[in-house]
Amino acid sequence: MSRQPLRLAILEAERLLSSAGVASPRTDVELLAAHLLGVERTKLMMVPLVDPPVVEALYELVRQRAARVPLQHLTGTATLGNVTLSVGPGVFVPRLETELLFEWGLAGLEGVDNPVVVDLCTGSGILALALAEARPDATVHAVEKDATALSWARRNANERAQAGDTPIRLYAGDVADSMLLLELEGLVDLVVSNPPYVPDGTPVPPEVGNHDPHEAVFGGRDGLDVVRHVVACAARLLRPGGHVAIEHDDTHGGSVPAMLAARRVLAGAEEHTDLAGRPRFATARRADPGASV
């Protein structure tokens, strides 16, 4: 069997994904090819020819992607910061927007030695583990109520600890529980959360609607059911000067900052946009230690 040009296989696969309505067909094909070949995407040009079975395997992955199976389910991984973690059926697939939340949270820890961090609704654990990798001196606590998601988070936490990262502390818990992490009340430097926030009934892409767990995506009639509990929990956990950052739906640009500002112990509520200019996460800091939550 004669070897075949990888470039031509990628072009044909890109055409198939584009016809299927995949938003980023070239990127997805290249990532699938890199995964299949065990190389970095930037090194694909160094693999000009491949054997026919490789092309067939690539087209099989592309057929699944064209059927709108999430890219991360096909590669089995998702990346945030400097960490790449395992994801798959039963756990929410992290989105690119969360990178901005991670970067803001990391900046909020500058100048803080041995910070205490809490990640609420951790899912696969990716945000907590990315922060732990970037700040080895941090004590990172991560909370998740769904048993399947928590099993993914435990798997990822174990793998990162074996790789040498500072271990995180995982909890099975619900942000609606007013006793959650009671021992950390008033001691936390940073609270981050990417909670379920899509309003019920909102049309979502097939990758989300058919593959992400419903309870990890939708947050009630207005999408804010879980966010309200996250705000209350953050206000209780933060120390004076501590920061909170919450990812939200792009329809919540006014709602979440207002929710944070309504807490008398929180100050400086601010909205932040994603790279497309859409409001995607809100932040605040713990101010007056004498005010009531």
Annotated binding site: 144, 194-197
Query: At 6, which helix (H) or strand (E)?
Result: helix 6-19
Given a contact cutoff of 8 angstroms between Cβ atoms, the answer to whether 140 and 128 are in contact is yes
How is the beta sheet containing 116-120 ordered, strand by strand? Answer: 169-172, 139-144, 116-120, 188-193, 238-247, 279-286, 266-273
Going by the annotation, the residues of the binding site for substrate are 194-197
Amino acid at 6: L
CA distance 74 to 225: 32
How many Cβ atoms from other residues are within 10 Å of residue 27's Cβ? 14
User: Collapsing DSSP states into helix, strand and coil, what is residue 224?
Assistant: coil
Q: Which two tokens stand for residue 8?
A: 């031509």
Going by the annotation, the residues of the binding site for S-adenosyl-L-methionine are 144, 194
